[in-house]
Chain A
């Protein structure tokens, strides 16, 4: 993808630096921008800082056109990222609160995660899409999702070499399925692209980055934060468990909404597939991944439930963002930014 348009002083400076091949830049301005912004902002909604985090993480995924791959491990950029991550993680921990005592057996852990997933509140985007959404609103919904779904499963894959035993087997079993079980063209990210194409949308990763609001970037940045830090391997496992547990039933509603609007199997396949796949994955993720991980190392319990509660929290904010926009008759995307 191309470097996005900047959204404030920090991202303006960051993108200017990334555009250079000189790997010994003066990063003082970046740090000053962070020092100025961090004390007074809610980082979850900070367009400038979430875009910086997104770009810094993206260097570890597919990178950017005309940006040197060498920036990925640049110590100064990593230090800048660490400052943003510290603020982001403490904001998430503050929202999640203290973690109640974690049960000891895989079965009890799975049960508790299912209950947590079930108790998630907030407005249901799935219900709205199923019954009422217009084609334009479904396009907005797909564009919001695209910043994760076009690289679906990748942030959790970072955790594979950091796990052992039953938890690792479980994660690999889920990821193999996410990547299409070896069938070309059937990766979930590819099925998502097929859905986007069916609605006339650009399927290139990041094609709509300038339209994606901070809160959506934050939900994806959270996955990269959990996935890229070994100390947070429990959190990425808890994240995946809740993600899978809150997917089958909403997916059937999204598919129903698309059929209501007249779309056929090629467009609904992504969601139809997730009804069946995630009914399998949620069992494996709850019992064998999260449960197996904690059974093997009880010290990971609080991290697993931190990740689980963090995704419930972020899902509520993201759902509310979209429904508030639609209730007020406006787009859920950043104003005037749909065109590239």
Chain B
């Protein structure tokens, strides 16, 4: 990435998760790293994921943002 670009980017997916790419850390409330095995991650936005903070596709079952 060039110096003018941010180190990480977040795409707000309509009716879906936050897609996070680039150089970043995910920490829990105690400051400990959350286990992570991939570069680009999808973070739950609907609240229904069973693997939070990651997305598990549950937004497709609970109608998240369906009317927006």
Binding site for B on A (CB under 8 A): 107, 111, 114, 118, 173, 177, 181, 183, 186, 248-249, 252, 273, 275-280, 282-284, 287
Contacts and interface: CB of A to CB of B under 8 A. Distances in A.
A188 B12 CA distance: 27
Given A107-B14, A111-B14, A279 B57 contact: yes
A279 B56 contact: yes
Contacts of A252: 50, 56-57
Given A249-B61, A275-B57, A276-B51, A284 B19 contact: yes
A54 to B, nearest CB: 31
Chain B interface mostly: loop
Nearest to B56: A275
Given A275-B56, A280-B19, A173 B40 contact: yes
A287 B42 CA distance: 14
A278 B57 contact: yes
Contacts of B56: 248-249, 252, 275-276, 279
Contacts of A173: 40
A325 B17 CA distance: 38
A283 B59 CA distance: 12
25 contacts: A107-B14, A114-B15, A114-B60, A173-B40, A183-B37, A249-B60, A252-B56, A252-B57, A273-B37, A275-B57, A276-B38, A276-B51, A276-B55, A277-B38, A278-B57, A279-B17, A279-B57, A280-B19, A280-B42, A280-B55, A282-B57, A283-B17, A283-B42, A284-B19, A287-B11
B53 to A, nearest CB: 11
Contacts of A282: 57
B1 interface: no
Contact of B38 (A107, A114, A280, A283): A280
Contacts of B41: 280
Contacts of A183: 37
A284 B17 CA distance: 11
B39 interface: yes
Given A173-B40, A177-B38, 4 more contacts: A275-B56, A283-B11, A283-B19, A283-B42
A327 to B, nearest CB: 25
A279 B37 contact: no
A252 B48 CA distance: 14
Given A276-B54, A276-B56, A287 B40 contact: no
A177 B38 CA distance: 7
Nearest to A277: B38
